[in-house]
Amino acid sequence: MNNRNYALGLGAMLLLAGCASERVVLLPSADGYRSAVVVRDATGELLLDKPYAAASRRVGSNSAYQATPEEVQQRFGAALAAQPMRPNSYILYFEPGGNVLTPESQAVLARMQQEIVERAAAEVMVIGHTDRVGSEQGNDALSKKRAEAVRNLLIDAGVAAEKLEAVGRGERDPLVATEDEVDEPKNRRVEINLR
Amino acid sequence: MIKTHHLAACALLASLLSFPVLADESAGMIKNSKGQVSIERDGKKMVGVVGTPVLVADRIRTGSDSAVGVTLRDNTLLSTGPNSLIVIEKFVFDSSTQDGKMSIGIRKGTLSVATGKIAKRTPESVDFHTPTSVLGVRGTEFVIEVGAGNDE
């Protein structure tokens, strides 16, 4: 290959490299947990496991590089700006054995109602939990009853019923691990996820 | 275990192939919408505004100077920039057990992702894919760009 052809060939390769057709960039996670993405194609895989680690696809294969916050902003600013508001959780606690909220939780309920109004197209998932007093079946029913009680409170407060989903998880998912039959107030709760 | 998963995946695939009606399962909702945003469903095209439900098999498209943000039922956040096309190829989430699986395709444009409850519990049941590559995730936020992408 003579020099001129070589220069042309190199130029063409640089041009191809310049119009990378695909790109993946790992971002720092909002909750601070370690995170990673594995990018696989027909020829192999790349692990991205540090903030701004990136894969760029040129001429048929993925290669790793380190992106910068500036590059991410320039290429992905519009997509990132459209990201929906982060989901948020509230926890409401109950007096023992029934579906009456503690006084503190009644105040939390009021704050939560405000957030439902402020969110764009808010959806609400109400998840009931119990302590370990009583049978599993009884607690399934009680957790569902608590979730539905909160769902009804929210409907009474003007939240549209179709935004609300109520589920009961019984004693399966305690906030504080206990022996069976322990009356643990922190486990008698309803978790509300707003998204 | 792996065998069971494989069988389950095959069974799911078979059921998806034979019953395209399953496609009207709810996956999420549009929370942000700017400019021209459309949802293509069963060959029809509708305007995507804040509050529009997103179903399994929907294709979400943005025009120039447009953007859209969607929250899926497991709290996954998806948002795209202009001239983008994404497809909700698979989404299953049981809010009681918190089991589920999802597969999202980006055909062109830019997509930002913050993964949700399914990725936290069973990261192996979540994938995102471009025309050439598949991304596996582990509790993650990331962005994807597909340049000279596929318009279908």
CB atoms B50 and A120 under 8 Å: yes
Distance from CA of B69 to the nearest CA of A (A): 5
Q: Which of A25, A56, A79 is nearest to B83 (CA)?
A: A79
Residue A10: pLDDT over 80: no
Query: Is residue B125 within 8 Å of B101, Cβ to Cβ?
Result: yes
What would the mean pLDDT of A116-129 be, rounded to a whole number?
92
Q: Kindly report the nearest CA distance between residue A158 and chain B, in angstroms.
A: 17
The reported pLDDT for the residue numbered A3 is: 55
- pLDDT-derived band at B12 (thresholds 50, 70, 90) equals very low
Would you place residue B150 in the very low, low, confident or very high pLDDT band (cuts 50, 70, 90)? low
Tokens at residue B123, please? 């990261």
Interchain contact, A30 vs B110, CB within 8 Å: no
Query: Quick one: average pLDDT of A73-96?
Result: 93
- Beta strand extents in chain A (DSSP E only): 22-27, 36-41, 44-48, 53-58, 61-66, 88-93, 124-129, 164-168, 189-194
Is residue B13 assigned to a domain?
no
- Which chain B residues have a beta carbon less than 8 Å from that of A125? 95
pLDDT of residue B5: 53
Span A50-58, mean pLDDT? 93
Is residue B8 included in any domain, yes or no?
A: no
Number of domains in chain B: 1
In a domain, B140, yes or no: yes
Q: Give residue A14's pLDDT.
A: 45
Rounded alpha-carbon distances, angstroms, from residue B151 to A77, A101, B99? 22, 53, 32
B101 in any annotated domain: yes
DSSP A83: P
pLDDT at position B116 is 93
Q: Chain B residue closest to A73 (CA)? A: B143
The domain spans of chain A are 20-81, 88-194
In percent, the amount of chain B with pLDDT more than 90 equals 72
Residue with the larger pLDDT of the pair B63 and A109: B63
Q: Which of A30-44, A180-194, B12-26, B54-68 has the highest mean pLDDT?
A: B54-68
Indicate the average pLDDT of chain A. 86
Contacts of A52 (CB under 8 A, 6+ apart): A25, A26, A27, A28, A66, A67, A68, A69, A72
Q: Report pLDDT for A154.
A: 85
pLDDT at A195 over 90: yes
Chain B CB contacts of A34 under 8 Å are: 138-139
Q: What pLDDT score does A101 carry?
A: 81
Look up the ipTM and state it. Answer: 0.83
Q: Residue A84: its chain B contacts at CB < 8 A?
A: 31-32, 69-71, 77, 79
Contacts of A167 (CB under 8 A, 6+ apart): A125, A126, A127, A128, A144, A147, B95, B96
- B151 within some domain: no
Interchain CB distance below 8 Å, B114 and A83:
yes
pLDDT tops 80 at residue A2: no
**Between residues A41 and A159, which one has the greater pLDDT?**
A41
Does B9 fall in a domain? no
Q: What is the pLDDT of residue B24?
A: 53
Q: pLDDT digit string (tens) for B59-87?
A: 999 999 999 999 999 999 999 999 999 99
Confidence of residue A109 (pLDDT cuts 50, 70, 90): confident
**For A88-194, CATH number?**
3.30.1330.60
Res B64: pLDDT: 96
What's the whole-number mean pLDDT along residues A30-58? 90
Where in the sequence is the domain holding B130, given as residue range(s)?
A: 24-146
At residue A8, the pLDDT reads 52
- For residue B110, tell me if it sits in a domain: yes
Q: At A100, is the pLDDT very low, low, confident or very high (cuts 50, 70, 90)?
A: confident
